[in-house]
A = this chain, B = another copy of it.
Amino acid sequence: MSVGTAKDNTFVSTLVKDSYGKSLVRLTKINRNGKVPTWKEITVESELSGPEFGSCYYEGDNSKIVATDSQKNTVYVLGARNDLNSIEEYGLALAKHYLDDYKHIDEVNIRISEDIWTPIPIEGGVHPTSFVKAQSDIRCTHIQMTRKETKVTSGIDNLIVAKITNSEFAGHIKDAYTTLKDTHDRILGTKIEARWIWKNTAVDFNACYETARKIMLETFAHHHSLAAQQTLFAMGDAVLAKVNDIEEISLTLPNLHRVPFNLEPLGMENKNEVFVTTSEPFGVIKGTIGRKK
């Protein structure tokens, strides 16, 4: 495949794929339409592609270029027009805007992440106009839109959890490269990264996100884990069982090892109480889970 043709014959090569856009566009939106104002903070990336951009790569012809500075403006203009009820609805509006307004754009990718803020707790309730970013996990979405198809993938990053019972790891291959022994009582700690594909775009994105997050936490808490892989599948299966609007879910679970500190050379016994928290190296367990056909 190639994208357009260069007028300049001195090139030995041809453009196979192109895209360009704007990253880390950060929008704070206060919505004052309701009884109490809402506060949202999102970070947006837009990325455009199409064969007509080829002349920019070959000859520096910018006549088809929506400047990345204009893409930044567009985030704020649509941020003003849109309710921003959910990052998915806003992202869909943003993607649609590019395909509607510029016929030479073939594909738009919008990636949004959202910091989760909550009202500050005060005596007898919460404060209506003061907020705390108390939550360390992040909500995100990716809209991939062409004139034929729209794919919305949403998820969660940095949801950090650990369980201290009901976690084993035993029976793995023991060969010349193995030093790890079986254990029937280990800490399982991870930082959940989830990405799910929605069945369609007419979904209560906010409610489904809340349910998916809650189910993943509960399943992680309750599961008797023989392997991080098994817990991963259980979490994905539970989400698909409870949230009909999700078609498929991918999970990445780093295995953030807590290694029992060896107190023996120091004349003490470690009663499974004292661990070295490690950040590297770490295991990475991945799986994509789909509905049975």
Given A268-B80, A280-B24; A16-B69 close (CB under 8 Å) = no
Number of this chain's copies in the assembly equals 4
Q: Are B133 and A20 in contact (CB under 8 A)?
A: no
Interface size class of A (residues with CB under 8 A): 35 or more
For the complex, is A221 an interface residue (Cβ under 8 Å from B)?
Answer: yes
For the complex, is A21 an interface residue (Cβ under 8 Å from B)?
Answer: yes
Given A220-B130, A275-B27; A15-B267 close (CB under 8 Å) = no
Given A70-B173, A172-B66; A16-B162 close (CB under 8 Å) = no
For the complex, is A285 an interface residue (Cβ under 8 Å from B)?
Answer: yes
Q: Are A281 and B164 in contact (CB under 8 A)?
A: no
**Shortest distance between the CB of A83 and any CB in chain B (Å):** 11
**Shortest distance between the CB of A102 and any CB in chain B (Å):** 8
Q: Which of A144-180 contact B (CB under 8 A)?
A: 159-166, 168-173, 175-180
**Shortest distance between the CB of A281 and any CB in chain B (Å):** 4
- Chain B residues with CB under 8 Å of A284's CB are 20-23, 45, 47, 68
**Shortest distance between the CB of A183 and any CB in chain B (Å):** 11
- A229 to B19 alpha-carbon distance, docked (Å): 9
